[in-house]
Chains A and B, each alone.
Chain A
């Protein structure tokens, strides 16, 4: 039983627009999958359905054999907090909190005492090349540094799956490459799966395989590396 996250016949409509038209997708243990597609293709909708952010109109989502799309909002919210990690394009860090507290926040939300949460959070900083950045606030970090803090936050609670939505969209080419290297390495090191939504082939190249979404359907499955 190697399948960690499974989406079966996922369908989602927004009014007359079909965002997903019956998508099947399976993500295996420690696998990195890139979801590519042009704007409006439905790739973010697919990510939201897989992450339990959005309920599909039809189809099922299973995490380690447990069906999650039928769960209530509170359960799915708890699931996202404990079993999933998220990295977005920007705007995800709380500007008032120093970097280490931003990273410690998911642990604290899970009931870990603050001192322990911050100690665990600090362990991620040297791993991600963020030496001496613990006390800095997001506004004092570069875009790449802020994304690495976000990666640390996504991984700190040891999730089963990390979802990254255009994680390098706001970064220059070199910083984007560095960020992807760190994201894939750290995720793999943590034993988690990685699902990356992107329209950039250079980003997708860091993943084990790529799936392409067009008009709400998967076009191709391919091994990237």
Chain B
């Protein structure tokens, strides 16, 4: 019966009533799509970790259980890394690696599609000669991402490549290990990316949850008058709650479904975001059905719970929503909670458990969310105290009146701003420094350094490459001179590729590649998170602005009748979002940038600064634009010359 009445009221809400419903629907759809994206990021990195696990061998528990020897290392061409997996069967019938029909026989080479295509395209002495006569092309199961460069090379178990000593530094590769299966385990870098993805998700999910809750309150804001009237005619609190939850959940479920569809449509575009040196397999970005169902249930539930919380006052008293009183001041304990968590943060993050770090981070963000409205209220008080013009005064008073609403709009930007500011200025030079003239270094076995150096001189000489070969204690260094370009370097790499079995000749830039790659990826991730935060802020600003116009249409109309220019009302609405966003978002970005100063060894990254500025300008522009979208609505409600009948 409640459901029937709810449905009738929902349908009979009129155009403006339906507008509120549509706004809630839109807000939930945006929140769900972005929430699925935040979840999908973790799923995708998990999928990548699983995909790369087979190249990260785990030693067989029992010696006689071993079926193969496996090692991996990185080779390079141009500025791209090639993952080389060396395999040797110890027993007949060794299992086929992922993406291959059988275990590679000694001497067999299999290349990934991208590497195969590159080898065919470049002159043979730059790449193809390193992997002669490939037997076949690896299937997608063997790859982390579609354009990945991978080579699988078969060896005999006693071949030098499988027996020579190798570094156990995981950045360089994995030394030969006797394995019972090729299942492997996620590599250290994959785990690092999983942790970063989790942090990014926390950064995105907290504002999204806050935003989802705000969407519910939008329903309540539309309905509170009607529900208070229902209470006045005798509806029980249970009936009021039931109807509100039914309506909010109904709209939210429809919104969540639309959001899931929007996410599905956007996945091919999201798959083009390059991380770890390449784009994504589209299938990796789709969360499984269980997660999808979880989100589709959780979002309407969250909206329902928020609706109940928002309706508390109506339920407590039928007159509760009718009176607007001075809101009780935010308690300073909110800030104390944040300070307590920040004080405990170093202790919480001391443990190596990813889960504890994520929980600590989530806790810090939640406390920041608690303290945020307090700070917004403070900003409002300061702005109200100093306001000289009516628009600014109106905006400031609104901030003091409802700091939570303003915080909902800017929270994401404020939370991400620090990270964006920190990374925006950070130059790759901070991790690298000058790589100097081109030279290739390769580790040589103890006692064979001179012999290897002689072989290097001989090979380079025969290939017509001018180089000065020197030795250090364990390394042979071929200096190619300042005139050597990428082509010469790649030719030299090819010539020296099997100089020391199992070891790759590398340049200084190659050695820094992992650090540079992870910095670049963190920067891409930051831009993605900042974009999501701005999207939330934009959606939130648009919805808040429209909702505010609808809520206060009578006051706005009467003010306009009394001669208040539309521009003043519009400027006030704009300032209401921009003041806290500029102070909190801009402040967070500046503090982040300030904290990055000690790390700017290589000077300021111009690209980083430009990217950050473009991102911030687009975000601020979007927020202003979203608010401006409701200007026609403001005009239409204030154009109504008869605020009451007659």
* A interface residues, Cβ below 8 angstroms from B: 39-41, 43-45, 48, 51, 53-54, 74, 77-82, 84-86, 88-89, 91-97, 101, 105-106, 108-109, 113-114, 137-140, 166
Contacts and interface: CB of A to CB of B under 8 A. Distances in A.
A86 B568 CA distance: 18
Contacts of B554: 91
Contact of B641 (A48, A82, A108, A113): A48
B400 A109 contact: no
B562 A86 contact: yes
A108 B559 contact: no
Q: Which of B325, B387, B558 has the most CB of A within 10 A?
A: B558
Contacts of A94: 394, 397, 555, 559
**What are the 6 tightest A-B residue pairs by CB atom distance, in nearest-first order?**
A81-B563, A139-B324, A80-B563, A96-B397, A96-B401, A95-B324
B393 A92 contact: no
B interface residue count range (under 10 / 10 to 19 / 20 to 34 / 35 or more): 20 to 34
B225 to A, nearest CB: 12
B646 A88 contact: no
Nearest to A42: B646
Interface in B545-563: 554-555, 558-563
Contacts of A137: 324-326
Interface of B: 323-326, 387-390, 393-394, 397-398, 400-401, 554-555, 558-565, 568, 641-646
B646 A43 contact: yes
A197 B558 CA distance: 16
Contact of B646 (A40, A74, A86): A40
Contacts of A74: 565
B549 to A, nearest CB: 14
A28 B555 CA distance: 30
Contact of B388 (A45, A51, A54, A114): A114
A54 B390 contact: no
Nearest to B397: A96
B328 to A, nearest CB: 13
B326 A80 contact: no
7 contacts: A44-B642, A78-B563, A86-B561, A95-B555, A109-B564, A137-B326, A139-B323
Contacts of B562: 80-81, 84-86, 92, 106
B563 A109 contact: yes
Nearest to A135: B326
Given A96-B397, A139-B324, A84 B555 contact: no
Contacts of B401: 95-96
Contacts of B397: 94, 96-97, 101
Given A44-B642, A48-B642, A92-B558, A108 B565 contact: no
Residues of B contacting A: mostly: loop
Given A81-B563, A94-B397, A113-B388, 7 more contacts: A39-B646, A77-B564, A88-B643, A91-B555, A92-B558, A109-B390, A140-B326
Contact of B565 (A45, A77, A85, A139): A77
Contacts, number: 94
Nearest to B560: A77
Nearest to A166: B644
A68 to B, nearest CB: 12
Contacts of B400: 96
Q: Which of B562, B641, B642 has the most CB of A within 10 A?
A: B562
A63 to B, nearest CB: 13
Contact of B398 (A53, A88, A96, A105): A96
B568 A109 contact: yes
Given A44-B642, A79-B563, A137-B326, A88 B393 contact: no
A80 B561 contact: yes
Nearest to A165: B644
B313 to A, nearest CB: 13
A41 to B, nearest CB: 8
A109 B325 contact: no
A108 B389 contact: yes
Contact of B644 (A41, A51, A89, A106): A89
A53 B390 contact: no
Nearest to B388: A114
Contacts of B561: 51, 53, 80, 86
Q: Which of A84, A85, A97 has the most CB of B within 10 A?
A: A97
B93 to A, nearest CB: 78
A44 B555 contact: no
Nearest to A43: B646
Given A40-B646, A80-B563, A91-B554, A114 B393 contact: yes
A166 B643 CA distance: 12
A140 B388 CA distance: 25
B552 to A, nearest CB: 8
B241 to A, nearest CB: 25
Given A114-B387, A139-B325, A91 B558 contact: yes
Contacts of A140: 325-326
A182 to B, nearest CB: 19
A82 B565 CA distance: 12
Nearest to B398: A96
Nearest to A115: B388
Nearest to A86: B562
Contacts of A40: 645-646
Nearest to A38: B646
